[in-house]
Structure 1
Amino acid sequence: MTGARIVTLGETMGLLAATTVGHLQHVPHMALGIGGAESNVAVALARLGTPVTWIGRVGADSVGDRVVRELTAEGIDVRAVRDSGAPTGLMLKERLPGGAVRVWYYRAGAAGSRLAPEDIDARLVGGVRLLHVTGITPALGESAAAAVSYAVDVARAHGVTVSVDVNYRSALWPPERAAPALRDLVARADLVFAGDDEAALVTGCEPTARTPDELAAALTALGPATAVIKLGAEGALALVDGALHHRAAVPVRVVDPVGAGDAFVGAYLSELVAGADVKQRLDTAALAGALLCTVPGDWEGMPTRAALDGWTGVSDVLR
């Protein structure tokens, strides 16, 4: 497992998504799928041709079967521990009137929170090109936090690049607990992704007191050589070895924005391990994130290389 392979780890849950617009109390049907930030990134990587392994823990239940089946079908090397003592977590997605999307999580005590250091294959992690983790997993509990820390330690000991997406979830932990833990994780990374609000949380800045450029600099001051700030409709910027690079967003008609950040990260990492320069990384990431937003679902719309190469920017009928 060498070369361009990437390893990621974290919780993937069952996803029940409303099939029509409206509050859940009025929606008659929901569709079953799966979702999780790290596995979303893994799907993005696999579809772009980058070898990827996902490590996680799911329940010994039918939803866990669904997680393993879907990720395996995407060409991901799945290393899933089946936990008979805890269920696979669930999340519910509703499409609110006006276009907003709300997600409800039911993950406390679920199998993903019981991910442990012994679930991590040190030989695997130590022999790949890059390890990608997020700030979600450490928030799930002490065991999951220890698993992330162990994986990062192994990667650093073997010279493996460590990528961190801050991915702060206020529903999982308050900012006063999250900030020091996330700051420590970022300080051990080579590359960090964050929204401007997340960068402010990690660096202790007021969100409106610093420009995105200044927030990127504050992140790299913690240790990473590269900081990428995701700005949604305003695009993105990367501070790489002291040089700033800006990228405008790609305008599209948004259908479902959930997972756009994961598409962006996956595409950036795919280009990184392929040896692309910063401009190409940002160009591919911006387009991947935009195209993901045009398809319902957290990961179903992750583009392939062919989709990226064939994108014209117009809604043509293809015959």
Structure 2
Amino acid sequence: MKNTLSIKPSDQCHFDLVSLGEVMIRLDPGATRIRTARQFQVWEGGGEYNVARGLRRCFGMRTALVSAFADNEIGRLAEDLILQGGVDMSFVKWMPYDGLGRTIRNGLNFTERGYGIRGAVGCPDRGLTAASQLKPGDIDWDHLFGKLGVRWFHTGGIYAALSDTTPEVVIEAVQFAKKHGTIVSYDLNYRPSLWNGIGGHAKAQQVNREIAKSVDVMIGNEEDFTACLGLEVEGVGENLSNIDVDKFKQMIDRAVTEFPNFLVTGTTLRKVHSATINDWSAIVWSDGIFYQSQAFEKLEIFDRVGGGDSFASGLIYGFLTTGDPSQAVNYGAAHGALAMTTPGDTTMANLSEVEKVMSGAGARVVR
């Protein structure tokens, strides 16, 4: 079945997708703990950026990043990593570094993968970052969405929560995207620790409800919809995989009634047996119908960070190429599953591997 998303043709646009968000340097201690580490592996990552990178590296789409960095060696390290991922940086702003990080800097994210009964741990160090200091008017959205053309724009609640100005940047961006007929997706990605710094739960709802008015494809779990949009359903808890999915469907029915501009909503379903064993699947609502992906029971996890972002990039790829919600949800679930079998926030999978998983093929050695 085809959905109701009206996506611009590829030959009319310079980019298939553009993401707005912050990119941090991830420092990964590997099998040990942050507190005992003597060396770290370096990756780049950010909730919104990961989607653009996944679409570029796994699915071969033309993607770009809107962000900002302090112009120092750490910023240039991030640049090198991003360019290796093939994401266009023409709309990244470089801000003068003050020599100390007193007024502007680049974000770091120390992240443990977790193992068995020890869950993953993130320790971000992202105050005063360049990306958080973007403000309305800094980006020429008319040039990006109007002159160049963008088929799909993606951003999310992590970037919206970074500072007093980033909510306004997101609102500006999604409104310009809609003005130029670009599909807008938004991952609610509720993080209480971020919102607490700029007004807390009340601010989160105020901002996200305003952004939601311009969103075509809304991504988030029950906690996200409840905290960010004020939608609650009795009997739905934090762990979606342990609830009656019908309860979650009731909440989505409420969401699309209150925000009739939502054409698609989606979420991952995860049951955590341990840090390294999860049940994993996804569900998408489109045009009044719910579509559930294939289920990956007892999926072995190497690094769960970025699994949801890889779901989003696979979902978007499915809609961009097939327009079929049942295909899109399976691209998303398979890509997210594969991304969690490798280290780092971003995917190391390719399209043929994703489609092999979608077809039900096992993990036999490929020779």
- The TM-score with structure 1 as length reference comes to 0.92
* Count of aligned residue pairs for this structure pair: 317
Distance 1:178 1:42, change over 3 A: same
Of residues 21, 31, 35 in structure 2, which corresponds to 1:25?
A: 35
Distance 1:4 1:250, change over 3 A: farther
Amino acid at match of 1:100: G
- Partner of 2:264 in structure 1? 226
Report the Cα offset of residue 208 of structure 1: 4.8
Amino acid at match of 1:258: V
- Partner of 1:237 in structure 2? 283
Distance 1:208 1:58, change over 3 A: farther
- Partner of 2:167 in structure 1? 145
Query: What SS class does the counterpart of residue 31 from structure 2 fall into?
Result: strand
Report the Cα offset of residue 202 of structure 1: 3.0
Distance 1:220 1:180, change over 3 A: same
Of residues 72, 84, 102 in structure 1, which corresponds to 2:96?
A: 84
- Partner of 1:157 in structure 2? 179
Matches within 5 A, 1:123-272: 123-126=143-146, 127-173=149-195, 174-206=200-232, 208-210=234-236, 211-221=247-257, 222=259, 223-232=261-270, 233=279, 235-251=281-297, 252-272=299-319
Of residues 354, 357, 361 in structure 2, which corresponds to 1:308?
A: 354
Of residues 69, 77, 98 in structure 1, which corresponds to 2:80?
A: 69
1:219 and 1:227 in contact (8 A); partners too: no
Amino acid at match of 1:165: D
Distance 1:83 1:239, change over 3 A: same
Of residues 321, 330, 333 in structure 2, which corresponds to 1:283?
A: 330
Q: Distance in 1 between matches of 2:169 and 2:231?
A: 29
Q: CA RMSD for the aligned pairs? A: 2.0
CA deviations over 1:72-108 (Å, ceiling 9, x no partner): 2222111221111411111111244534211111111
Residues 268-277 or 204-213, more deviating = 204-213
Query: What SS class does the counterpart of residue 54 from structure 1 fall into?
Result: strand
Query: What SS class does the counterpart of residue 171 from structure 1 fall into?
Result: helix
Matched, 1:93 2:115: no
Query: What SS class does the counterpart of residue 194 from structure 2 fall into?
Result: coil
Superposition misfits of 4+ residues, deviation over 6 angstroms = none
Distance 1:34 1:187, change over 3 A: same
- The TM-score with structure 2 as length reference comes to 0.81
Identity %: 26
Report the Cα offset of residue 193 of structure 1: 0.4
Report the Cα offset of residue 316 of structure 1: 2.5
Report the Cα offset of residue 313 of structure 1: 4.5
Unaligned 5+ runs, structure 1: none
1:203 and 1:218 in contact (8 A); partners too: no
Matches within 5 A, 1:4-19: 5-19=16-30
Query: What SS class does the counterpart of residue 140 from structure 1 fall into?
Result: coil
Query: What SS class does the counterpart of residue 20 from structure 1 fall into?
Result: coil
Report the Cα offset of residue 19 of structure 1: 2.1
